[in-house]
């Protein structure tokens, strides 16, 4: 698998499951077609890892498979979400364990990682691989603020001073480099906490580099790494070349998801209405700035 991939066109790759155990799955999507046998214990990545992606000319297509995420839906309409970046062994590869259990004609999606059972979903009906919209960015270069919007408690535009003063500081180390910043999950501070598994976090850099995360993979109560960081300093020369802040995931095999010169962070439903896509892509920068409410240092580390 190559580091630079074309991204999928806006839309969804749908994996439809039949009602009988060990039956075939109908997979519809770019580069994946026809029916494939599903066996008990088959991983999510083995089912969707062959997706091919594309991006409209003029948009940042580098590693654009990272815009994609999986929505698993049960017969009752419940959702659970995984980003492709977290299950792709080339990029994050931090969560290659989720698999499909087949028993008595019933499908169950299971994440066996410690603390992650809240991401499981029974009576599985379908899987969708959806791409967040591509972005042209805001001209590239160093970011001066991080715009936070969507299903969050404290939307707004956060400068370096804000990040240092409004949040409890945190540190993480990767490959001998110590990064200083704030807990990314605490920074997001999602407002719809009753639906963590049904939401995504879309992050966009000034050059249009987009990385989509599942909100659940960031949540320590669901097995997320509390050391996932929104970093604003490091013990080498990463800053200020990486702008006011960058994402740091210390468990990632590679730094493809370490979005530098971070510009927009938006939290929303994994299956949003079409109008919501436009709102998330823009990051609600203007509205967020006007409605800014600071988290202050009382936010838990």
The enclosing domain of 220 has a CATH number of 3.90.420.10
Would residue 299 count as lying in a domain? no
Go through 134-157 and write b for each residue having 16 or more CB atoms within 10 A of its CB, e for each that does not: bbebbeeeebebbbbbbbbebbbb
Give the span between the Cα atoms of 293 and 148, in whole angstroms: 11
At residue 211, the 3 state secondary structure works out as strand
Q: Which helix (H) or strand (E) holds 263?
A: strand 262-269
Q: Which domain holds residue 100?
A: 12-131
pLDDT of 35 reads 62
Dihedral, 42, 44, 46, 49 alpha carbons, nearest 10: 170
Would residue 6 count as lying in a domain? no
DSSP state of 190: B
- For the stretch 4-38, pLDDT in tens is 333 333 444 444 444 334 455 555 556 665 566 67
93 and 32 housed in the same domain: yes
**How is residue 131 written in tokens?**
């791409």
pTM value > 0.85: no
Q: Which of 86, 106, 131 corresponds to the end of one domain?
A: 131
Total count of residues recorded for the chain: 301
CB 248 within 8 A of CB 179: yes
117 and 168 housed in the same domain: no
pLDDT of 32 reads 63
Would residue 47 count as lying in a domain? yes
- Is pLDDT at 58 greater than 80 in this prediction? yes
- Other residues' Cβ atoms within 10 Å of the Cβ of residue 83: 28
- For 44, half-sphere exposure in the C-beta direction (CA atoms, 13 angstrom radius) is 32
233 and 271 housed in the same domain: yes
């Amino acid at each position: 698998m190559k580091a630079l991939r074309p991204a999928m066109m806006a839309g969804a790759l749908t994996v439809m499951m039949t009602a009988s155990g060990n039956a075939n799955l109908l997979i519809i999507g770019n580069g994946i077609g026809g029916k494939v046998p599903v066996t008990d214990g088959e991983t999510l990545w083995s089912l969707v890892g062959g997706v091919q992606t594309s991006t409209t000319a003029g948009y940042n297509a580098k590693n654009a498979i990272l815009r994609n995420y999986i929505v698993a839906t049960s017969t009752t309409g419940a959702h659970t979400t995984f980003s492709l970046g977290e299950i792709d062994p080339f990029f994050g590869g931090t969560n290659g364990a989720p698999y499909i259990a087949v028993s008595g004609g019933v499908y169950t999606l299971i994440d066996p990682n410690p603390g992650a059972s809240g991401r499981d979903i029974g009576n599985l009906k379908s899987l969708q691989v959806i791409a967040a919209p591509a972005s042209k960015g805001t001209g590239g270069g160093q970011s001066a603020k991080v715009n936070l919007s969507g299903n969050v408690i404290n939307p707004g535009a956060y400068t370096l001073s804000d990040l240092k003063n409004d949040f409890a500081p945190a540190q993480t180390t990767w490959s001998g480099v110590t990064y200083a910043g704030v807990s990314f999950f605490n920074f997001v501070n999602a407002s719809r906490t009753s639906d963590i598994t049904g939401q995504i976090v879309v992050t966009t850099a000034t050059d249009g580099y987009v990385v989509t995360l599942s909100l659940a993979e960031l949540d320590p109560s669901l097995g997320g790494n509390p050391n996932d960081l929104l970093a604003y300093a490091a013990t080498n020369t990463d800053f200020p070349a990486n702008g006011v802040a960058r994402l740091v995931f210390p468990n990632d095999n590679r730094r493809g998801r370490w979005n530098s010169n971070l510009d927009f962070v938006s939290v929303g439903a994994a299956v949003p209405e079409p109008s919501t896509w436009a709102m998330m892509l823009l990051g609600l920068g203007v509205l967020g700035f006007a409605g800014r409410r600071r988290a202050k240092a009382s936010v838990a580390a």
